[in-house]
Chains A and B, each alone.
Chain A
Amino acid sequence: MPTLELKIERLEKLVGKKLLLKDLEYDLQWISLDLEEINKKEQKIKVEYNPNRPDFSSPEGIARALKGYYELELGLPSFEVTPGKIQMNVDSTVKEIRPYIVCGVVKDIDLDEDEVTTLMNIQEQLHWAVGRDRKKVAIGVHDLDKIVPPFRYLAVKPDSINFLPLQGDGSTMNLNEILKYHEKGIKYAHILENNELYPILLDNKDEVISFPPIINGILTTVSNDTKNLFLEMTGTDLKSVNLALNILSTTLYDMGAKIESVQVIYNKDEKYITPNLEPKKWEISTKYINDYLGLNLSITDMIKCFEKVRMNAKRSSKKDYIDIWVPAFRGDIMHPVDFTEDCAIGYGYFNLPKIIKEGCIGEYHPIQKFSNKIRTIMIGGGYIEVLNFILANVTKQYDYMKRQNKSNEIIQIANPISEEYNTTRTNILPKLMETLLFNRSEEKPIKIFEVGDVIILDPKEDTGAKRELHLSAVTYHEDADYTEIKSTLDFIMNTLGCSNEIDIKVSNNPSYLSGRSGDIYLGKKKIGEIGEINPEVLLNFKLEFPAAALELNLQNFF
């Protein structure tokens, strides 16, 4: 989850109210912010916001919501955009590469130190929260007075343009060189992979403004003397580039700057004036919202709820409907259902009633019920239950146990976090052997069991694999032998009432000692193995006492 550091003093200035840490600790949660850290000494807090609310990526954004919560300001925050003359011409060459660009102009900025920090930080936050690490949206902020409009957004051959990139080594580079040698180029080259042409932003004198989504030109670097900004967002999704632009420009507006629009011209018929900070209107049924929340709010009350979350709402011409205007910095409204949460936030989650709806009869899952039956039997037999991961290691599952495996016959994880877990278990016994290894210096006898899932490949299943319930038990001490584990098996089968159907046949299972092991059959079906563990297997697990074990597939018992 994204986090943001806030100075209390700055927040107080923005909200226009004295804010005590103690109160904030309580209040922030009701506008869906999580207080992560409190720094009393420096009067700073760190809040976590949800990825659906990138407008919370600046103190200005959070202040807007708090003002609504404290009822200091209700309804839509107002933003003014002066129509501008600057044009951005979009060439059709970018269509297949990075099709969208939107722009804005910010005039007369006068930022203090905190605001400069916010401006840097919000770009980083938006790159993540909206831009998917620049893939979907990349943000450029430039000194407007260094470049000459109109501007052009086009795609060019990688070696056709040389320019001085920001954070470079001071020499001009072509686009290929930037992707190969520039720090940011190396980091983001993957976004432009497999393209013959690369996107570029030029001014009227063919000076490079930026090479999105990689790096800006050094020409437009923003400094302390910068008075006017040029903002551009390029990307693969029109809604997302607009959202990033809207969040950035409303934040700058709240810092006291003037916003001017830019004409973004795709072709004669497709032209956008951006930023477009007009609120979006929805018509929503009040019954729908009341039903979702379990409330019975009057239209007036509901309107108040939306005003508190900084939307405008009015009685609609349609009966029992309201018109809602959503501010341009909100990107999370996709469906009428999204208004239910905002209404609940406006109403206050703490005010919602707790209503229990009864009905239904609960049932055990037969597998869980049976698993508990097996547990009862095993603890009666003196075995301690253990619990292991289903994730497993191929070497330990097969090689250590002297079992054969073919790579196409086992589950293979494509991207294991470590080799320790590169498959899932097909048997529980190797896990019990590991448990013995972990506990080998504990007082003996150690008698343990586990009842749980193994994963078996099965082309009949839609996912190609299925879970099976297994039981494995092992006894480990000086005198552990076949007789002991056989009497355990007999005890289990007697208690399950199927000792008559069980048959043991001689096997040549290399995990066990030959002559002291066998396969367990239920009727004609092989359901498990039993025996004294092969001493070579014991040594693989660094065990020095005899062990006798069994493993049963329980799928046939319930």
Chain B
Amino acid sequence: MTIKLEKQTIGIFKELKKIKLDSVIASDFSKDLDIDYIVLMSAINDLKKNSLGDFREIEVNQVSLNKEGKSYLDKGLPERQLLNILLSNNNQEISLQDFLKISKFDKKIFYVGINYMKKNKWVAQSKVGEDIKIILIQEEFPKIEIEILLNKFKDNLKLNYKDLLPEEQKIIDTLNKRKLIKRENKIQREIALTDKGKKITLSQIKELQQVSKLSSEMIISGSWKDCNLKPFDISKPGPLMQRGKIHPMINLINEIREIFLSMGFTEIRGPIVESAFFNFDALFQPQDHPARELHDTFYLKNPKTARLPQNKVIQSIKNTHEYGGDSGSIGWRYKWDENIAKKTLLRTHTTATTIRRLAEYYKNNDKKPIKMFSIDRVFRNEKLDKSHLAEFTQIEGIVIDNNVNLSNLIGIITEFYRKMGFEKIITRPGFFPYTEPSMEISVYYDKLGKWLEMGGSGLFRPEVTYPWGIKNPTRVLAWGLGLERLAMLKFQRSDIRDLYINPIKWLREESYR
């Protein structure tokens, strides 16, 4: 009688035959042979099918050190540590209070240590009135049993309680009482040969010819039908694939871009190096407004000044600032300075580009409505930290139409945020210097179970639109939000800088949810 077995199974069968014991623990055996546990168990299954081997599962009680226990592995138990303090200070006796002070121990652990020092008969305690003294009463302090056993746990070892000697078990119990031990029950597999397996000789076993790779020749000749194609472990992870991937932020940007496009918005793009004119003045921000100051805005030394648009527009903006121009406003009532408007800067918001688009609108006299959006970089003179960036991405949506109103703005924002996955939204009164009425937007974030501020919105003030010829009842709706806040939530990052420092590990592993 011959039995056909896979090559790997034969190898393991040979190893099992060498073993003198009745059975062997599978995990230890796989370590000894340096083969994968899964490979070993599949071979055992193979042997089982041929009634040559078998395994059984037994429950074992494993003990290991817990966190506190581990900490004593190097430093020694509290009693040993305290003893060493006494010895190194050459203290034959010391008051209990002083001892506590110099030991810098936690009070609870200190008293545990003192107790065991007494138990080990290393020290005695004397009490005179209120003063308690600790006195050394030995010359030598050899390692005690418990310390010797502790050493067995080195290298994170787990011990089987059952395998220990009775006196060792007792010490383990003591350690357990001292809460230094972790006990867990585990299922262990023991493997063994059956009687048939023990009797059979190696000459009665033949290697099963198995093919692991399908070849072109086998396909053409049809011989694949006759050979034994080796089955694969189909759930085993494949080798790690390191290929190209889109940056998570770009994925998010593309998702938001698709939302805008699906709602009929067209993307616009404008200069990053911008004039104060388009960044501030055209938005009716007075020239002494705090946001224009150096600590909020990056101004440029080179190029230093920008050319302003045609005179008519300049005059109109100047008038609007000074007394309201033709907008119906009382204006800011100060002297507007063209030179301040000519300063160059890194734009602090994409609204500067929106205004440029309004300027074009005025020139081209487009057909209404116009819907536009941008998702683009803006700059603020901020120190970088966990929650601040000097450069970030702003998302902005704009609608220009006849008779568009606040209710339309709420309608469109609600739809926009719904498409982003926020079903619940609150729009409440807010303030922005260039919109009126203005709204703050909060959305309910299910995953955190709370409301989050997620942008601002409003209708552009007449003082902003009139200089470009956009006059009531044509109005401009606008809303905007920061991309990074959203990204931090989505990618569960707690440091905003992570989004722009490219940890390759994160980029390789972040999923496309």
Q: Are A359 and B501 in contact (CB under 8 A)?
A: no
For A382-394 the 0/1 string (1 means CB < 8 A from B) is 1111111111000
Given A341-B429, A385-B250, A417-B383, A293 and B405 touching (CB < 8 A)? yes
Given A341-B437, A457-B303, A390 and B391 touching (CB < 8 A)? yes
Task: Choose among A31, A294, A336 the residue with the greatest number of B CB atoms under 10 Å from its CB.
Answer: A294
Task: Choose among A356, A386, A387, A447 the residue with the greatest number of B CB atoms under 10 Å from its CB.
Answer: A387
Given A385-B246, A387-B250, A438-B501, A362 and B288 touching (CB < 8 A)? no
A416 interface contact, C-beta 8 A: yes
Given A349-B427, A391-B379, A416-B298, A448 and B502 touching (CB < 8 A)? yes
Q: Whole-angstrom distance between the alpha carbons of A237 and B406 in the complex?
A: 33
Q: Which of A358, A387, A390, A414 contacts B301 (CB 8 A)?
A: A414
A93 interface contact, C-beta 8 A: no
Stretch at the interface among A3-11, A169-177, A463-471, A548-556: A463-471
Q: Whole-angstrom distance between the alpha carbons of A372 and B253 in the complex?
A: 11
Q: Are A334 and B427 in contact (CB under 8 A)?
A: no
Given A334-B329, A387-B249, A453-B377, A352 and B407 touching (CB < 8 A)? yes
Q: Whole-angstrom distance between the alpha carbons of A362 and B260 in the complex?
A: 8
Task: Choose among B247, B274, B437, B439 the residue with the greatest number of A CB atoms under 10 Å from its CB.
Answer: B437
Stretch at the interface among B153-161, B213-221, B411-419: B411-419
Q: Whole-angstrom distance between the alpha carbons of A529 and B493 in the complex?
A: 36
Q: Whole-angstrom distance between the alpha carbons of A250 and B274 in the complex?
A: 43
Stretch at the interface among B66-74, B111-119, B237-245: B237-245
Query: Which residues of chain B come closer than 8 Å to A410, judged between CB atoms?
Result: 302
Q: Are A415 and B298 in contact (CB under 8 A)?
A: yes
For A375-409 the 0/1 string (1 means CB < 8 A from B) is 10011111111111111000000000000000110
Query: Which residues of chain B come closer than 8 Å to A413, judged between CB atoms?
Result: 298-301, 346
Q: Which of B274, B403, B431, B463 contacts A335 (CB 8 A)?
A: B463
Query: How close is B307's CB to chain A, nearest CB, in angstroms?
Result: 5
Stretch at the interface among B101-109, B195-203, B263-271: B263-271
Query: How close is A90's CB to chain B, nearest CB, in angstroms?
Result: 19
Q: Which B282-296 residues have a C-beta within 8 angstroms of A? A: 288, 290, 294-295
Q: Which of B304, B391, B405 contacts A292 (CB 8 A)?
A: B405
Given A352-B407, A438-B503, A358 and B302 touching (CB < 8 A)? no
B420 interface contact, C-beta 8 A: no
Given A293-B405, A379-B245, A338 and B436 touching (CB < 8 A)? yes
Q: Whole-angstrom distance between the alpha carbons of A385 and B507 in the complex?
A: 8
Q: Whole-angstrom distance between the alpha carbons of A237 and B403 in the complex?
A: 36
Query: Which residues of chain A come closer than 8 Å to B288, judged between CB atoms?
Result: 132, 135-136
Give B437's nearest chain A residue, CB to CB.
Answer: A341
B508 interface contact, C-beta 8 A: yes
Query: How close is B13's CB to chain A, nearest CB, in angstroms?
Result: 38
Give A51's nearest chain B residue, CB to CB.
Answer: B431
Query: Which residues of chain B come closer than 8 Å to A455, judged between CB atoms?
Result: 272-273
Q: Are B403 and A340 in contact (CB under 8 A)?
A: no
A493 interface contact, C-beta 8 A: no
Q: Which A441-466 residues have a C-beta within 8 angstroms of B? A: 442-443, 445-448, 453, 455, 457, 459, 461-466
Q: Whole-angstrom distance between the alpha carbons of A352 and B267 in the complex?
A: 29
Q: Which of B245, B295, B302, B403 contacts A412 (CB 8 A)?
A: B302
Q: Are B431 and A463 in contact (CB under 8 A)?
A: no
Q: Are A367 and B269 in contact (CB under 8 A)?
A: yes
Give A335's nearest chain B residue, CB to CB.
Answer: B329
Give A440's nearest chain B residue, CB to CB.
Answer: B504
Q: Are A291 and B473 in contact (CB under 8 A)?
A: yes
Stretch at the interface among B46-54, B89-97, B330-338: B330-338
Query: Which residues of chain B come closer than 8 Å to A120, judged between CB atoms?
Result: none
Given A407-B302, A411-B302, A412-B302, A464 and B436 touching (CB < 8 A)? no
Given A383-B244, A387-B247, A463 and B383 touching (CB < 8 A)? no
Q: Whole-angstrom distance between the alpha carbons of A444 and B265 in the complex?
A: 42
Query: Which residues of chain A come closer than 8 Å to B370, judged between CB atoms?
Result: 360
Give A135's nearest chain B residue, CB to CB.
Answer: B288
Give B370's nearest chain A residue, CB to CB.
Answer: A360
A344 interface contact, C-beta 8 A: yes
B169 interface contact, C-beta 8 A: no
B134 interface contact, C-beta 8 A: no
Query: Which residues of chain A come closer than 8 Å to B141, judged between CB atoms?
Result: none
Query: How close is B273's CB to chain A, nearest CB, in angstroms?
Result: 4
Q: Which of A291, A352, A415 contacts B410 (CB 8 A)?
A: A352
Q: Which B151-173 residues have a C-beta within 8 angstroms of A? A: none
For A330-359 the 0/1 string (1 means CB < 8 A from B) is 000011111011001100011011111111
Given A413-B299, A439-B503, A467-B272, A335 and B436 touching (CB < 8 A)? yes
Q: Are A417 and B273 in contact (CB under 8 A)?
A: no
Query: Which residues of chain A come closer than 8 Å to B327, judged between CB atoms?
Result: 335
Bin the interface of chain B by size.
Answer: 35 or more
Q: Whole-angstrom distance between the alpha carbons of A29 and B429 in the complex?
A: 7
B349 interface contact, C-beta 8 A: no
Q: Which of A379, A453, A461 contacts B244 (CB 8 A)?
A: A379
Query: Which residues of chain B come closer than 8 Å to A381, judged between CB atoms?
Result: 244
Q: Whole-angstrom distance between the alpha carbons of A341 and B405 in the complex?
A: 12
Q: Are B406 and A292 in contact (CB under 8 A)?
A: yes
Query: Which residues of chain A come closer than 8 Å to B507, judged between CB atoms?
Result: 384-386
B306 interface contact, C-beta 8 A: yes
Q: Whole-angstrom distance between the alpha carbons of A389 and B503 in the complex?
A: 14
Q: Which A137-166 residues have a C-beta within 8 angstroms of B? A: none
A50 interface contact, C-beta 8 A: yes
Q: Which of B346, B412, B429 contacts A345 (CB 8 A)?
A: B429
B363 interface contact, C-beta 8 A: no
B421 interface contact, C-beta 8 A: no
Q: Which of A352, A359, A447 contacts B406 (CB 8 A)?
A: A352
Q: Are B272 and A415 in contact (CB under 8 A)?
A: no
Q: Are A344 and B244 in contact (CB under 8 A)?
A: no
Query: Which residues of chain A come closer than 8 Å to B439, judged between CB atoms?
Result: 349
Query: Which residues of chain B come closer than 8 Å to A135, judged between CB atoms?
Result: 288
Q: Which of B245, B295, B300, B462 contacts A337 (CB 8 A)?
A: B462
Q: Are B406 and A418 in contact (CB under 8 A)?
A: no
A20 interface contact, C-beta 8 A: no
Q: Whole-angstrom distance between the alpha carbons of A132 and B290 in the complex?
A: 8
Query: Which residues of chain A come closer than 8 Å to B377, judged between CB atoms?
Result: 390, 453
Query: Which residues of chain A come closer than 8 Å to B329, judged between CB atoms?
Result: 334-335
Give B431's nearest chain A residue, CB to CB.
Answer: A50
B180 interface contact, C-beta 8 A: no
Q: Are B264 and A360 in contact (CB under 8 A)?
A: yes
B324 interface contact, C-beta 8 A: yes
Query: Which residues of chain A come closer than 8 Å to B268, judged between CB atoms?
Result: 365
Q: Are B405 and A291 in contact (CB under 8 A)?
A: yes
Query: Which residues of chain B come closer than 8 Å to A340, judged between CB atoms?
Result: 406, 436-437, 459
Q: Are A417 and B382 in contact (CB under 8 A)?
A: yes
Q: Are B300 and A362 in contact (CB under 8 A)?
A: no
B452 interface contact, C-beta 8 A: no
Q: Are B407 and A443 in contact (CB under 8 A)?
A: no
B500 interface contact, C-beta 8 A: yes
B11 interface contact, C-beta 8 A: no
Given A338-B436, A341-B438, A387 and B499 touching (CB < 8 A)? yes
A496 interface contact, C-beta 8 A: no
Q: Are B406 and A334 in contact (CB under 8 A)?
A: no
Q: Are A337 and B436 in contact (CB under 8 A)?
A: yes
Q: Are B245 and A387 in contact (CB under 8 A)?
A: no
**Residue contacts A-B, CB under 8 angstroms, 6 given:** A337-B436, A337-B462, A344-B429, A355-B411, A359-B401, A424-B346
Interface residues of A (CB under 8 A from B): 29-32, 34, 50-53, 132, 135-136, 237, 239, 288, 291-295, 334-338, 340-341, 344-345, 349-350, 352-365, 367-368, 372, 375, 378-391, 407-408, 410-418, 421, 424, 435, 438-439, 442-443, 445-448, 453, 455, 457, 459, 461-467
* Given contact pairs A136-B288, A337-B437, A465-B271, a sample of 18 additional A-B residue pairs in the complex whose CB atoms are under 8 Å apart: A34-B440, A291-B403, A336-B328, A344-B406, A353-B407, A357-B399, A359-B401, A384-B507, A385-B246, A386-B247, A386-B507, A388-B500, A391-B346, A411-B300, A411-B303, A421-B391, A462-B309, A463-B271
